Amino acid sequence: MQNYKGHVVVLTYPAQGHISPLLQFAKRLANKGLKATLATTYYTVKSFDATTVVGIEPISDGFDEGGFKQATNVQAYLESFRSVGSRTLAELVQKFNDSASPVNCIVYDSLLPWALDVARQFGIYGAVFLTTSASVCSFFWRIEHGSLALPPKQENMPLLLPGLPPLGFSDLPSFIAKPESQTAYLHVILEQFSRLNENDWVFSNSFEELESELVEAMLGLWPLMMVGPMVPSAYLDQQIHGDTGYGASFWTQNSDKCIKWLEKKQPKSVIYLSFGSMADIVAKQLEEIAWGLKASNKQFLWVTKESQNKLPIEFVNSLGEEGLLVEWCNQLEVLAHQAVGCFVTHCGWNSTLEGLSLGVPMVSIPQWSDQPTNAKFVEEWRVGVRAKKDGEGIVTREELKVCIEEIMVGENSEEIRRNANKYRELAKRAVGLGGSSDKNISQFVMKVIKDKEKGKSKGQQA
């Protein structure tokens, strides 16, 4: 049995976009010599790859048979997870404490702030992992500290904040622009930022070179450590042997079918489209995207998940070899393929980081949450363009066609591609040996190893 020098339990919110970066962080810790255990809900355990170097342990959210879909609403789910999850996470920590590998630290998803209380209960370190960009996190920090109103007033636009570009109302996260739309999630997010300084570490899935102005503006104000991008090592630094995927997926991936199809295409000729694991795109928008793709005269690979039955039947029947529709795929494998020249994305933070890490120019069609802000930054970094919406909030077929042409053959396409490659190299450097993110992770690991006993004394003083 391996003699570990420390043991970290990593707790994730049970959604694909949260599991992926937190599992990847756990792999980074394991690669540096810590025992890393990912705690997830019973309902999601079956989605994990058994070969991962990280231990997977279940805890309960109170809905073990059906997970989130069993709950009546978001608030009911979050309240159940808080009460049942606190108890079962404590039981998991106690189980390890009665073994040869006691837990020294809990790293927890920022949507689960109650995990910090469990860490304090055992007198061990507690660290929060922020799954959105540092820039988006800075909004919530400012709201909590009274320097940003919620919601901001239209007449105060553009919003001018240190370390950020001027922001219009449509550039703001939906939780901030329309706080009444997601009150349950907003409540736990603001709770987390009210307790930020109680954590021993605050990790962000980003890297210093990507958000340098924000990092400089917030220096000394909050205890942030950049550790990203949390993308499988094979696509960046190759420090973790065989790390070609995240190691968990809620959907069956059609990777072989996708790669075989891509192999027949010319370099940089294919448009890849995916709108993430949570997007529910209205039929009219899907129809406009479909006909916009057709009008572009480009070949495309489109991940449609449950949306295929909303697409126009004439569109589906006309695809031939020009288009491929799949329910899910290994996005990294597709983005890394030489045939892909453009990524049409909802701009979820994971997808944005993957696009940057693989150097693929993007067309952004944001939907909600932090996506509008991420889309703004894709434009600011000049690695892509943001599709404009009409008065009904729809990206028209004509607009999509224009955006695709700008990326693929437009007068700025070469500059956009150069910038995409530049950020790819910066991402590689950040997580590579001795890079900014790698140093931050190593610093954390050394602290856990060095001060295993310190957590106990902290707990005794509490």
Write down all domains in the chain, each with its CATH number in brackets.
Answer: 7-246+433-460 (3.40.50.2000), 254-425 (3.40.50.2000)
Contacts of 429 (CB under 8 A, 6+ apart): 209, 435, 436
- The two tokens of residue 193 are 């930022």
Amino acid at 71: A
Could you list the active site residues? Answer: 18, 109
Segments in the chain below pLDDT 70: 1-3, 51, 279, 306-307, 452-462
Amino acid at 115: A
- Can you count the helices (H) and strands (E) in the chain? 18, 13
| Longest distance between any two alpha carbons in the chain, whole Å | 70
Residue environment code for 59-93, b if the CB has 16+ CB neighbours within 10 A, otherwise e? bbbbbeeebbeebeeeeebbebbbebbbebbbebb
Answer whether 0.75 is exceeded by the pTM: yes
Contacts of 182 (CB under 8 A, 6+ apart): 74, 174, 175, 369
- The two tokens of residue 308 are 């295929």
Q: How far apart are CA 439 and CA 457, in angstroms?
A: 27
Q: For residues 315 and 241, is the Cβ–Cβ distance under 8 A?
A: no
Burial class (CB in 10 A: 0-12, 13-18, 19+), 267: exposed
Average model confidence (pLDDT) for the chain? 94
158 cis-preceded (ω within 30 degrees of 0): yes
Provide Rg for the chain, Cα atoms. Answer: 22
Nearest to 103, CA basis, from 1, 204, 32, 4: 4
151 cis-preceded (ω within 30 degrees of 0): yes
User: How many residues belong to the chain?
Assistant: 462
pLDDT at res. 456: 47
pLDDT at res. 182: 82
Q: What phi and psi values does residue 229 have, to the nearest 5 degrees? A: -80, 140
pLDDT at res. 295: 97
| Cα distances (angstroms) measured from residue 432 to each of 223, 236, 444 | 23, 8, 16
